[in-house]
Structure 1
Amino acid sequence: MSFVIKKIDHVQLAAPKGCEVEARAFFAGILGLTEVEKPEELKKRGGVWFEFGTFQIHIGVEEPFTPAKKAHPAFVVENIEELKTHLSKNRVAFSADDNLPGASRIHVHDPFGNRLEFLEWL
């Protein structure tokens, strides 16, 4: 092949129209991601973008909206026990999943019902 796939630039999650305030509260406020300004031409579509390290999460408006219950991004976390404590303090429900050998992981749903996985390799 004459091409190389180098990395994932971003992951897009869908959300309903008017999602921006809730998305900011969850992804920036609770998870601590940094909001990224969207290009002017894309702002009119709604949604909001966030980043951490060299990765981005784009929350895009989709009508009609249906949350992703199975498909999900997975985030590697350092000190997942502290994340669990932080989520509990912020009344964010999570479920533990011990089915992946060598990892401690949890599943969370964003305010729109999309599934998110957080894991720490042991």
Structure 2
Amino acid sequence: MITALDHVQLAAPEGSEALLRSFYVDVLGMTEIPKPPVLAARGGCWFGADGVQLHLGVERDFRPARKAHPGLRVRDIEAFAERLVARGAEVVWDDNLPGHRRFYSTDPVGNRLEFLEPAATRKPV
């Protein structure tokens, strides 16, 4: 009986934690979540925002997820996209999901990320 999605884990290469922190905290505006000591010894980082958690775990033979991705809901998607672009992230808009505005970006190690906002929550223009 599933009640919620606890977190999504993405992979990252060894030694990429500083890059990940810079992107997920400074660019996306998430907060780093301290990992339990036994898990922290493995490397990687955890991040959260408004009940959403992304865990980035070290994978020795790392390959970025180019198709698989988390879909992250945002408020004021246009302003959020501008924030990413202003901080050097690529934003690729996609209008193929009816009832939503959405775009894709990648984290600094190449993992695909989707950001979306249902049309009903958008402010009138």
| TM-score (normalised: structure 1) | 0.95
Unaligned runs of 5+ in 2: 120-125
* 1:40 alignment partner in structure 2: 37
Match among 47, 54, 59 for residue 56 of structure 2: 59
The number of aligned residues is 119
1:110 to 86, 107, 111: 107
1-side partners of 2:82 and 2:31: how far apart? 21
Q: Which consecutive aligned stretches of 4+ in structure 1 deviate over 3 angstroms post-superposition?
A: none
Structure 1 residue 78, shift from structure 2 partner: 0.6
Q: Secondary structure at the match of 1:92?
A: coil
Give TM-score, length-normalised by structure 2.
0.93
Instruction: Tell me the percent identity.
Output: 49
Residue 31 of structure 1 corresponds to which residue in structure 2? 28
> CA–CA distance in 1 between the matches of 2:105 and 2:30?
16
Structure 1 unpaired stretches of 5+:
none
The aligned residue for residue 85 of structure 2 is 88
In structure 2, the residue matched to 1:50 is 47
Q: CA deviation at 1:55?
A: 2.2
